[in-house]
Chain A
Amino acid sequence: MAEAVLKIKNLCVDFLDDHTIVPAVSDLSIDIFPGETVGLVGESGCGKSTTSLAIMRLLDTNNARISKGSIELHGQDLTKLSEKEMQRIRGKEISMIFQEPMTSLNPVYTIGRQLTEGIVLHQGVSQKEAETIAIDMLQKVDIPRPEIMMKSYPFELSGGMRQRVMIAIALSCNPKILIADEPTTALDVTVQAQILDLMNSLRDELQMAVILITHDLGVVAEICKYVYVMYAGQIVETAAIDDLLNDPLHPYTQGLLNSMPDRWQGGDRLYNIPGTVPLPGTEIKGCKFADRCEYCTEKCRQAPPPLVRLDEHRSVRCFRSAGTQ
């Protein structure tokens, strides 16, 4: 098997609120291979965006920091790079698409300018050449009449179009890795499907690795090969997508699957997991999911369960499912 492009090992991210340290992501490890899409799934507030910003080293340095672990891109540890060195990685090696297409483009500049500046910066080409590349890129993301689009301003475009532009910006320098943080959450369903298709085909064409962040297992099922399920800043289960859908091991994953509308098993109401994600900084001695888990035992409350590896692609953080109970 090919080398992993990105190896995240034991990543821990802390927020610093008024001098108290609040762990937001702990011991997160992910390997990503070229040409494949991995999903990072979890409810709102479980630390997905924090993880992606940590990879880009875009966390606000005033109140967040990577306290432990490494993020290796082709063997180079990103956590050790200077800001200058990171600037050569961002947009060129690793690109990112954000959750909010409506506000992620600068309102006072044209699409053309926002698209070409990264190309000029990373590929060292002239403005004219960058424009040719940019128009090409807009064609790739299925934007009609790209020449006109280059002169448009973001407010003239719909959300779906803006997200396509964001994808074009992100992919304009052929990055090795694309981090897509809920790229379709803010879009309506038909547009959502189009964008996912687009990302799928561009991934194959450009042989990128994609990290798809979402809270929607349906989206994951459509385009991901492997899935990492995240809960309260931790990975609680990893699996190939088919295994996960057929045989979810962690009670949280089971809950997520049951709350998908098309897997709804009948009954008066759509299933949802009782309770909410504990806020970062909540003191929890045992399993973080214990309060919401129907299988919770005394043991779960006493010590945190380790992430147990079951086979090459499967691990789970649960005493019961890992068979260590």
Chain B
Amino acid sequence: MRVIIKRIASAIPVLALVSIMVFLMLQLLPGDPATVILGEEATPEAVEAMREHLGLNKPLIVQYFDWITKVLQGNLGESLVDGTSVNQLIMERLPATIELALGSFLVALLIALPCGILSAARPNTFADHLCSFISMIGMSIPHFWLGMMCIIVFAVELGVLPASGYVPFFDDPAENLKSIILPVVATGFRESAILMRMIRSSMLEVLQSDYIRTAKAKGLSEMTVLFGHALKNAMIPVITTSGIMLAGLLGGLVITESIFNIPGYGKLVIDSVFNRDFITVQSAILVSAVFVVFINIAVDLLYAFVDPRIRLGKEGNS
């Protein structure tokens, strides 16, 4: 419990720093938000009035505090393009991205765990080589190509799954699942490759260790040794990779979303950048950062859960 509070407390300065960096970064971008709203042909007077209205003539530090105060109150601002609330924009886009990210992550785990464990338990056998081959494919095939192949095979040729688009879960669960299968499998397959290599090498190392020999010497079966003794230890380094991976998925599914034409978070950010919709970009990036921070906290908690040395606060001296 103490660990949790400590972790959350230490996240606050990180988030503050991120918010400042996001804010400053956007100041460096060329273009003027007032022009974005009014269009290129606006008179200088109108632009000046708009700047005044948006508070752009105040000192940077005041602008920052205006923005961050509103954010802390739960108001992410209004889009410069059409004035819709950024909260609403994000809420519209987030479900699809979260579903895609978690789905891909799950697929990656479902492929990587059994394959990684199997190839570590039977190194240099046919099964091991097959798994290596699969992960090699996952790593080397361009992701967009795999996505398009999936569309061609399953949507165009076989016609069993929709080629693109997204149906929200609460509109129609069955259609929702159909619409995310292809993107989730395509992304999950790619992500599984690295995870599989990680799990294999971590597992191989653990299987060489003295305590595994002890476990075998007790007369435990191979299954008990693998899953009861090796797996938990082997997962410790894998947890970090998984966390980074999940964070990446939540923030960066732009390619998947474009290929499958899914109105997700990544697309929102990209579109806003192209539209010079500063406020939306700024707030959306901040929300992503919050996600990343929370995933990191979750990773740390998971560590503590898996490894008693951390849970009992002895990380340094054992």
Tell which of B30-38, B67-75, B304-312 binds the partner: B304-312
B308 touches A91 (CB 8 A): no
A91 touches B219 (CB 8 A): yes
Interface status of A103 (Cβ within 8 A of chain B): yes
Interface status of A209 (Cβ within 8 A of chain B): no
Residue of A nearest to B222 (CB): A83
Shortest beta-carbon distance from B257 to chain A in Å: 39
What is the number of residues of chain A that contact chain B, defined by CB distance less than 8 Å? Answer: 35
Docked complex Cα distance between A87 and B215 (Å): 11
From B123, B211, B219, B306, contact of A104 by CB (8 A): B211
Interface status of B63 (Cβ within 8 A of chain A): no
Contact indicator per residue, chain B 273-313, by CB within 8 Å of chain A (1) or not (0): 00000000000000000000000000000000011110010
A56 touches B233 (CB 8 A): no
B217 touches A153 (CB 8 A): no
B219 touches A90 (CB 8 A): yes
Residue of A nearest to B308 (CB): A153
Residue of A nearest to B209 (CB): A103
Shortest beta-carbon distance from A158 to chain B in Å: 12
Tell which of A36-44, A116-124, A258-266, A289-297 binds the partner: A116-124
Shortest beta-carbon distance from A296 to chain B in Å: 38
Shortest beta-carbon distance from A120 to chain B in Å: 11
Contact indicator per residue, chain B 195-229, by CB within 8 Å of chain A (1) or not (0): 00000000000000111011111111110100011
B209 touches A118 (CB 8 A): no
Mark out the residues of chain B between 15 and 37 whose CB falls within 8 Å of any chain A CB in the assembled complex: none
A155 touches B309 (CB 8 A): yes
Size class of the contact patch on chain B: 20 to 34
Please give, as numbers and ranges, the residues of chain B lying within 8 Å of A95 by CB-CB distance. Answer: 217
Interface status of A28 (Cβ within 8 A of chain B): no
A106 touches B217 (CB 8 A): no
B124 touches A62 (CB 8 A): yes
Q: A100-B210, A106-B211, A153-B312 are in contact. Are A118 and B219 (CB under 8 A)?
A: yes
Please give, as numbers and ranges, the residues of chain A lying within 8 Å of B213 by CB-CB distance. Answer: 58, 98, 104
B214 touches A104 (CB 8 A): yes
B233 touches A89 (CB 8 A): no
Docked complex Cα distance between A114 and B229 (Å): 10
B218 touches A121 (CB 8 A): yes
Q: Can you name 20 extra interface pairs (CB under 8 A) apart from A58-B213, A106-B229, A121-B219?
A: A58-B216, A87-B220, A90-B217, A90-B219, A91-B218, A91-B220, A95-B217, A96-B217, A98-B217, A100-B210, A104-B210, A107-B309, A108-B233, A108-B307, A109-B229, A114-B214, A117-B228, A118-B218, A118-B220, A121-B218
- What are 22 pairs between A and B in contact, CB < 8 Å? A56-B217, A86-B219, A87-B219, A88-B219, A90-B219, A91-B218, A91-B219, A95-B217, A98-B213, A104-B213, A107-B308, A108-B236, A108-B306, A109-B229, A109-B232, A114-B214, A117-B218, A121-B219, A121-B220, A153-B312, A155-B309, A169-B218
